Chains A and B, each alone.
Chain A
Amino acid sequence: MASFRKRHGLSATLAGPEPSDPDGQLGDTETLLRYIPEVGMTDDGKPMSGMFKEPEFSVDRASLKPLPQFREEHSEAYVIEFSAADARQIGYKVQADPILNDPDLPDNRAHAKVTNEHGPTERLRMAKRLRDLVKTHPPAYVPLRLPSPGRRSPQ
């Protein structure tokens, strides 16, 4: 997880506002965007709960990076959206976490982090509630795939 923190410029602790947050408080009306690879989706078109079970994960703020731009950047993935209010209602903390002047990452003023200080099972329960309410957008671009060869029938 250390590399994740470094890549996303996250602080070592989960509590407290980021001192480098130039955008101030992230309001409840903010729409949050995240992309989910196809492997993390279920047949009902929702993300797996497991996609949200980590103590923290990254999102982008739609007010600073609108949905069309976000989908363009992640055109082969599903995009999910939920409000900061919904996440907070479940028990997550949502904080602005802009990436600026990072040696490894491009600037991203829209970056925010969703954190959760609970234990593993409680995190899973919260993750299920979140996955149930997110709105899902299919990939903007679906690569052409050749049909897989048919499976042989048992002799």
Chain B
Amino acid sequence: MNTHHSGVSRLDLYLAAGMRPSKDLAARLQRAGVPQPILASVSAAAKEAGLGDPTKLTRDMVVRFFAPGDEEESDRVVYRSNLWPEHRYEWHISEWGHASHGGFRLLEPAELPTWLPRELGAVSEAVRPWFHTANDVAEVMGEPDLDLSWGPAWGWYYGPLDDGTDLVFDFDFGLLREVRAEKSAVKEHRAGGQSE
């Protein structure tokens, strides 16, 4: 693992810089002794290295910037994490050589039911923010009815439920930060005549 600051890898710092603020992230950074300013400098360096242009990002650029992966296969580069020690981080490599975020994955299989009802209570009891990942959610809930992700912030919507809400799974780079119910965007989307 390529350590960069206080034993934290450059990839971890880059991911932390791209996440929305949260108590969980602040606590992890504090425990690791990472000052906030270092995140901005890593983010700027990543941009300088071309990581901000998804159309030009390649495996070589990822490896050059973050160091060789702990596992490398034809379709992915995988890094262990010390800021998120229960997880690994995957970069997806397309058959054309483009690199893109694959997101956080648990190192060990998630302890989740094989199926959950679309109810906030049941889901909230089963999934754990800052632990379970988009991959885990997809295995239990299936693909979302509506995906309103933008960059590192992934928003998956399941609905509409009987009460007119959606179950919304909110992720940072595929790491679950919150599950909530809110007025159905899926319904609005379908009413607009659009199909996913």
Partners in one complex: no
